[in-house]
Chain A
């Protein structure tokens, strides 16, 4: 489970449902709450500010059009959004360059983030969530976290990660599985 408070989660879900009904003000509020985290995600996948901006715009357009498909019973609004933005960024990455070559090294490369978002201070619930998640991530063994991040940010398949890390496929699958289950448990405990 994602760790935002129930009130925060409910507020995000309400915003998304208002967006589905065509509420532009809700769309603006949703943008202000989610954009710094989602832009950071897309930037980390693409390593290119211009392309990240394109994907952010395309993805928010998708959110505007498809907010009605969001099911609050199955995920938080942020989780729903993250999967949309991440998948579009990975699609863009795969379009841009041939997958195996392009993604090699991308996921673990230290990205020069242009600037951290000072406005995130205006969204305490999001900051709290970020702090909780980062704390949870530190509790995952490094090899598990590395494998998860290669898949998540780099779009690498299990097989590609195994090849990249020169590690048996079964070991990679186990690392990702254990890493995500551990993260799930940590987030539940922190929620």
Chain B
């Protein structure tokens, strides 16, 4: 006789919630108990049927060609978001900026990458260059010992990276062959709150696609029962438009591909506030970052 506890274990197993020893022990139990195995098989079928709760959606036709080319091996692996490896813990006053800008540009490159395959190699080269630039900057930073020197180097890096942003943006615009990317907005958000001084926030916004990516570094957790939430400030609306809750990793970094809740015609500013866990429909909490 299978009791409720066994049912619950079977369900957790099927949802993938059992891990490690618990998973192995349950699988051994399945092998030794035909009744339990039958229950798991039945529940798996019922669970899989839940997939039909969503109406079928036609995948893009081009995807069919790519997937059906898999057996012949004549297909590239799925595109992966282009990212720069996480930076080590910073020691300079503003060490996150090169990384954050590099990450933001990687996202820009990622947009181009996803939109048109012919930019792929160039975008990857750009990102590789950025990664190399970042590594060079980090090496230089590590060699600086006095705080005054660190500050000087950081300021130089900011200037250099700013120039790099401009150069790469122009290059990508040229590669894209149209001016859509020129419309892409790159914003660095700043804070007046001392406890967030070490954090870095970069937003890349594509108005044409109505989507953006926000990348954060060195951000502390929002606190028990709270979340950081992104807002897009469009003068057309009386209140900021919700951009979504920011998932902050234990390392203090976060990255979110966001689609604002409402169409955004013109971005005046981006802002991040601290809100109740799970986010709110209208901003209520204190704004900790803002920028345009």
Contacts and interface: CB of A to CB of B under 8 A. Distances in A.
Contacts of B50: 133, 137, 148-149, 152-153, 183
Contacts of B53: 133-134, 137, 149, 153
B100 to A, nearest CB: 18
Contacts of B7: 177, 181
A74 B41 contact: yes
Interface string B208-223: 0000000000000000
Interface residues of A, number: 79
B247 to A, nearest CB: 4
Contacts of A134: 52-53
Interface stretch (B12-20, B129-137, B160-168, B179-187): B12-20
A31 B68 contact: yes
Interface string A73-114: 011101100110011001000001110011011000001011
A142 to B, nearest CB: 13
Interface string A11-34: 000000000001010011001000
Given A75-B41, A105-B278, A116-B55, A57 B11 contact: no
Interface stretch (B59-67, B116-124, B148-156, B195-203): B59-67
B45 A184 contact: yes
Nearest to B43: A180
A41 B254 CA distance: 26
A133 B68 contact: no
A111 B279 CA distance: 18
Contact of B227 (A35, A101, A118, A181): A101
Given A2-B48, A152-B50, A187-B45, A27 B71 contact: yes
A37 B57 CA distance: 7
Nearest to A78: B48
25 contacts: A1-B42, A2-B49, A22-B71, A27-B71, A37-B52, A40-B54, A44-B54, A48-B257, A53-B60, A54-B80, A57-B67, A79-B45, A87-B16, A97-B256, A98-B247, A98-B248, A105-B245, A151-B15, A152-B47, A155-B16, A177-B8, A180-B46, A184-B45, A184-B46, A187-B49
Interface of A: 1-3, 22, 24, 27-28, 31, 35-41, 43-44, 48, 50, 53-58, 60-61, 64, 74-76, 78-79, 82-83, 86-87, 90, 96-98, 101-102, 104-105, 111, 113-120, 126, 129-130, 133-134, 136-137, 148-149, 151-153, 155, 157-158, 164, 173-174, 176-177, 180-181, 183-184, 187
